[in-house]
Chains A and B, each alone.
Chain A
Amino acid sequence: MSDPAEPLAGPMVQVRGLTRTYGTDATAVPALRDVSFDVAPGEMVAVVGRSGSGKTTLLNLLGGLDRPDSGSVRIDGSEVTTLDEDGLSALRRDSVSYVFQTFGLIPALTAAENVGVPLRLRRTPVADREKRVELLLDLVGLRDHAGQRPGELSGGQQQRVAIARALAGSPRLLLADEPTGQLDTETGLAVMSLLRAVVESEGVTAVVATHDAVLMALADRVLAISDGRVGG
């Protein structure tokens, strides 16, 4: 995917005419209708909208977890919607990473091992992996919790592990679907600020879905979505 020769001038994410309808005919639910927007490299965009407005649908399409009915998604200049399964796996392994609302950590693994998962998928040499894991745990402030399992961590700590994991593979685009949805306001804010900080320090482009107004303020730009349409 990454061609060093290619100039980084263009947008990191380029969405054109994206449409996704669930179901058929009578029961059809148009979740996204003709959505188009760009996200510049290093930018942090907040996608906001009411429940059911299409935020999750949009993020899933950006990460190649779902396929659109029509339209195109380009990440760093390459078309995502035409990739096959293996191409999508590679995309997620190398360029796009996810932070889930429910953290999605593997319970049997320690915090450090969870962070190392994307590096394992890329077969990073052990020494490099361990160095990077240590660095990221430091970055999210969990250096002292490296050996704990998810069950032994608080919700906020778990989400910080999830963020460290999302950054481990040095992705170019980080997608987060309501990363603070399961956290209380205070912890949510702390996690969001952390996300903001690490995205900046790692130079990652981020698209974050949320409906918390306080969190929107931390973003470079807000993309409002309602009834499957992007406005403002």
Chain B
Amino acid sequence: MRRRFPRAHAATVGGRWRADWPLLLLTGLVVALTVGLAAAVDPVTERAADRAIAAAVHDAGASGAVVATLPAWYDDPRGKTRDPSTAVQVRQDADYARQALPAGLDAVLRPGVAWVTTPTLQVRQVGPTKLLQLAFVDTAGEAPAVTYDEGGPPRAVPRRALGLVEVALSQTVADALELEAGDRRTVQDEQGRSAKLRVSGVFTPGDPDAEAWDVSARLLHPVQGTADGLPYTSAAALVSAGSLADLRLVLPADDLTRRVSFRPDPSRVRWLAARSLEREIVSLQASASLSRGDVAWDSLLGSTLERARADIASARGRADVLLIGLLAATLLVLVLAAQLLVLRRRDPLTMARQRGASLASIGLELLVEGLTVAVLGAVVGLGAVVLVTGSAGWAWAVPVAVVAALASPVLGASWADVWAGARRVPANRSARRTATRTRLLRRLAVETAVLLVAALSFSALLQRGVAGDGAAGGDVTAASAPTWWAVAGALVLLRVLPVPVRWALRATRRSPGGVGFFVAARIGEAGARALPVLVVVVAVAGITLGASLAESDRAGQTSAALSSVGGDARIDADPQADLAQLAEDAEDEPGVDAAAAARVEDGARLSSGGASQAVRLVVVDAGDYAALLAASNLADAPQLGRLDAADGDEVPALLVGGDSVLRDTASLRWEDTSVPIDVVGTAPDVDASAAPVLVVDTDSFAAAGAVALPDTLWVVGTGTDAALDRIASRVDGVDSVVRLSDELEARRTAPLPSALIDLAVASSVLLLVLGILGLLLSAAAQAPERARSLGRLRALGLPQGEVRRVLVGELAVPVAVAALAGWLLGVACSYAMLGSLTAGSPTDVEVSWWTIGVVPILVVAAVAVAVLEWRRIRRRPLSQLLRT
């Protein structure tokens, strides 16, 4: 006997809400969670992107500055007079340059630093070569902050001493040049034009990292080396506002370069504004070339921003991959929830339809309810995001809310129609056949369409990647490829599943007993439902791909960090520092597996025939280097053995990258000599960003008359850090100790990688929850049908214990199969797509096999659901089960 359909409409709705509130609440929660997550994507992306841009701008340092080169001063051919306002003019010119900046750049650039510099001048004296550049620096009308240890700041010289220029030296420069306050020297340029200098004082910089020092690193750090076989020291000296007028007087205008450098303030450069900044820089650079005699602009900031934006776009694209998987699983779960809701109301809906309620009115009632839940859920989700992040993105929230609102009215109306018998199965056989054929064709059409979209999105991924054009979102078509693969795979699975079920039936047909047979029969009857299979497949595939993506990213970070360090640690030092000895000391330390000292010189010129190319030259003991590479995770290089065999005059070398003309024999320019090189093999590809790299053996190199003292020490071994703590201080001239752990930490904690890992973890957890939820909802939806079907078997005498086993098998086997298929699809997607998805190199693709662990988790969940359901069935008398 069925419950009567109450007349009062409001009472019906209220009553149903009371009955179904847990389901409606669940739907609302899923909507809230997904809408929240989707809405958070844009603000979180923006925030992470802003941080990434800021980090990139910060890391670019002085090279990120926008530099204006001002036209050369004009020298009156009738003779020059001393102009005391020279420094003021420099400041005014800087202000003028500032005003020429477009508004966007103006907003992100710090106050300009104005420079006037001379070329490198040679100090006229006997003994080792001493080179000196003179520089005037003005930061917003101020000289750089220094404290004078000796003497004082340079001043304008009195009229009788005209022709003299006062300069100040930093302590390190004074030491390197062996000068002190009061010393006088004459310097000359390449044309032989000379100036007399007097050292007014020796200073220590207030802040060595201040922008003012960007003008020349040699103001604080003199460089020593050898040229044409002779040692030289190159440094720079500071000119003051007072002495600038004197300098202007003694050197011709074409010897004085005037620049204004504007460094960007990292915290003011916004991701969303980066692209227009790039355009402003391009047009700024172009404008100067158009009008002669005007300020010329130059900056690497544009390419820094472009690179950072490309990184962000690729990260966003990868985030989209994860989010689309999550969104797909959520939509499926929402449809499952709606299905359950409608099934629970089967009786009242059927009756309403039978009593003549129109489908529209049935749908409307469900729509009001669905809309309420969807809107409430969306408002909660959006509200939470706005509260936390201050803003929210709408685009992704819309499909979730729409599906949540529409699923139950659409399902309700169409099913009520079927249940009410309006669409009876046609009695006539041929009509029935036509109906079946239509259904099959429709299914085939859907399957074909999905496969087609999967193929198209995959080819989009391979061709374009997921980065998109770098605007707000990535390339959604390409980013959806893995999800489409999962959906297509699920459809294929649904197609082929009847085959193993038939096998299982055949295999168990000849057994006397029943459980396996009944399980197969039940799965054949009801097990392979599309929605739950889809949810599980999409969820597990998404988890596997997400984990693989995260692991590949981490592997990429590890190998990139290792490449850039070159071992577990690297010491950068002066060639004067005795790194060869330090290498030997390091090898004696416990926990150190290998150490190799090398000279690493970027920009060495290698030429062959007419061609010439800048290479990174690595001069290293071949045996030590081979041992180092073997002890580390870096690629081994068996060809290093070929370097020892010096054959004639040519130095054997290994080369990686570079033009093919360079292979074979070439000559290398090293200081003043030309070293003949015989390329005998391929150099180890340690740091792909440094290619081309030429590796030669220290002894062979020395035998050819070229001396290259080591300036780099690589150390490998678990005890490296501790060992370096003990021994690094034994030599002077160590500039820095770069540790792999620090380098890796820096890469891991960078804004984009860490945000992406967080997202991968969050989406995996959510996908697992959604997978289990999908399993629960579909089990609940089919529970009455299953109870009836099992009731019949019970009525035929199937004992309770076996009922439970049939139930467990019926629920767990399809879940296991779908989860396994999802995992396989995830693995396949990882192999096929990670090469186009990962930030690292394709060789860093790591497939997360361990996500197979999700399969037993879902199976256990299914078994738990089965046992709970069995408990409920067992309590209900059979008479009731059979009556329904």
Contact = CB atoms under 8 A, between A and B. Distances in A.
A66 B792 contact: no
Contact of B514 (A56, A94, A120): A120
Contact of A106 (B513, B525, B879): B525
A177 to B, nearest CB: 9
B415 interface: no
A104 interface: yes
Contacts of B795: 63, 65, 92, 98, 100, 104
A94 B797 CA distance: 8
A8 interface: no
Interface in A111-163: 113, 117-118, 120-126, 129
B797 A66 contact: no
A106 B806 CA distance: 14
B271 interface: no
Contact of B799 (A65, A86, A107, A108): A86
A100 B512 CA distance: 25
A109 interface: yes
A89 B517 contact: no
Given A60-B879, A108-B505, A120 B512 contact: yes
A93 interface: yes
A85 interface: yes
B3 to A, nearest CB: 12
A67 B877 CA distance: 8
Contacts of A57: 879
B513 A120 contact: yes
Contact of A104 (B510, B792, B874, B883): B792
A213 B521 CA distance: 38
Interface string B496-517: 0000010001000111111001
Nearest to B498: A108
Contacts of A194: none
Contacts of A120: 512-514, 517
Interface string B856-884: 00000000000000000010011100110
Contacts of B794: 89, 92
A35 interface: no
A143 to B, nearest CB: 19
B796 A118 contact: yes
Contacts of B789: 106
Contacts of B505: 108-109
A121 B882 contact: no
A126 B796 contact: no
B627 interface: no
B800 interface: yes
B452 interface: no
B796 A107 contact: no
Nearest to B508: A120
A129 B524 contact: no
A65 B878 contact: yes
A108 B510 contact: no
A89 B879 contact: no
Q: Considering residues A89, A107, A124, which has the most beta carbons from chain B within 10 angstroms of its beta carbon?
A: A89
B793 interface: yes
B514 A66 contact: no
B522 interface: yes
B800 to A, nearest CB: 6
Q: For chain B, give the interface size range.
A: 20 to 34
Contacts of A92: 794-797
B409 to A, nearest CB: 30
Interface string B786-821: 000100111111111000000000000000000000
Given A104-B792, A106-B525, A108-B524, A125 B797 contact: no
A115 to B, nearest CB: 11
A40 interface: no
Contacts of A125: 512
A57 B879 CA distance: 8
Contacts of A126: 510-512
Given A56-B883, A108-B524, A124 B792 contact: no
Contacts of B879: 56-57, 60, 65-66
A129 B512 contact: yes
A19 interface: no
Nearest to B514: A120
B521 A108 contact: yes
Interface string A66-97: 11000000000000000001100111111001
A63 B791 CA distance: 13
Contacts of B877: 65-67
A108 B512 contact: no
A89 B878 contact: no
Contacts of B792: 100, 104, 106
B882 A100 contact: yes
Given A66-B877, A120-B512, A120-B513, A89 B797 contact: yes
A98 B796 contact: yes
B785 to A, nearest CB: 11
B796 A117 contact: yes
Given A86-B799, A108-B525, A120-B514, A113 B509 contact: yes
A78 to B, nearest CB: 16
B800 A109 contact: no
Contacts of A113: 509, 521
A89 B882 CA distance: 15
A22 to B, nearest CB: 9
Given A66-B877, A120-B512, A121-B514, A93 B796 contact: yes
A89 B512 contact: no
A120 B515 CA distance: 9
Contacts of B525: 106-108
Given A108-B505, A124-B512, A126-B510, A66 B796 contact: no
Q: Considering residues B523, B874, B877, which has the most beta carbons from chain A within 10 angstroms of its beta carbon?
A: B877
A106 B510 CA distance: 18
Nearest to B789: A106
A66 B793 contact: no
Nearest to A177: B882
Nearest to A63: B795
Interface in B127-151: none
Nearest to A67: B877
A191 to B, nearest CB: 19
Interface of A: 56-57, 60, 63, 65-67, 85-86, 89-94, 97-98, 100, 104, 106-109, 113, 117-118, 120-126, 129, 165, 169
13 contacts: A57-B879, A66-B878, A86-B800, A97-B796, A100-B792, A106-B521, A108-B523, A108-B524, A113-B509, A113-B521, A117-B514, A121-B796, A126-B510
Q: Which 7 A-B pairs have the closest CB atoms?
A: A93-B797, A108-B524, A66-B879, A60-B879, A92-B797, A65-B878, A120-B514
Given A108-B523, A118-B797, 15 more contacts: A65-B877, A65-B879, A67-B877, A89-B798, A92-B795, A93-B797, A98-B796, A106-B792, A108-B505, A108-B520, A109-B521, A118-B796, A124-B512, A125-B512, A126-B511
